[in-house]
Amino acid sequence: MRLLLDENISPTLVRRFAELGVFAQSVPHVGLAGAPDRAVWAYAAANDMVVVTANVRDFLTLADLDIHAGLIVLLEGELNHIEQFERIEPVIRLVETSTDQDFSLNKAVEVSGPGLFRLLEI
């Protein structure tokens, strides 16, 4: 699994995910700071990355248009980096243990709290 962290997700999580063996990049670190969501989505698609965001509405709309590697959306606002990690890490663990190679393909995971998430077919 490869992650692209949107601007509303702490870039400090890149290192935390690396410690789990998960490749992650942050939107500002790839030169997309302030870029429109469509540009972020295009970068993720070109690099086979799952977008992680708290921008639910816009990215769910984009995900409905294209084949994509997946989307993780945090439904809670104003989370600090520790809380964000606590919400995202269980999703990563689920994907890692799945026997489905295309687990996240064209899917979104809505995260509503620590350990509380649901998988949506898009």
DSSP 58: H
Whether the pTM exceeds 0.85: the reply is yes
pLDDT higher than 90, residue 122: no
Q: What is the rounded (10 degree) CA torsion for 66, 55, 116, 9?
A: 110
* Tokens 């429109």 belong to residue: 36
Instruction: Retrieve residue 24's tokens.
Output: 């992650």
> What is the overall mean pLDDT for the chain?
88
The residue range of the domain holding 69 is: 2-121
Q: What's the rounded Cα separation, in Å, for the pair 105 and 87? A: 20
User: What would the pLDDT profile of 47-81 be if each residue is shown by its tens digit?
Assistant: 999 999 998 777 666 665 566 678 899 999 899 99
User: How far is Cα 120 from Cα 110, in angstroms, rounded to an integer?
Assistant: 8
Q: What is the pLDDT of residues 5-16, one digit of tens each?
A: 999 999 999 999
* pLDDT value of residue 65: 59
The number of folded domains in the chain is 1
Average pLDDT for 13-41: 95
* Cα 57 to Cα 9: distance, rounded to the nearest angstrom: 16
pLDDT for the residue numbered 2 = 94
Distance CA 107, CA 117 (A): 13
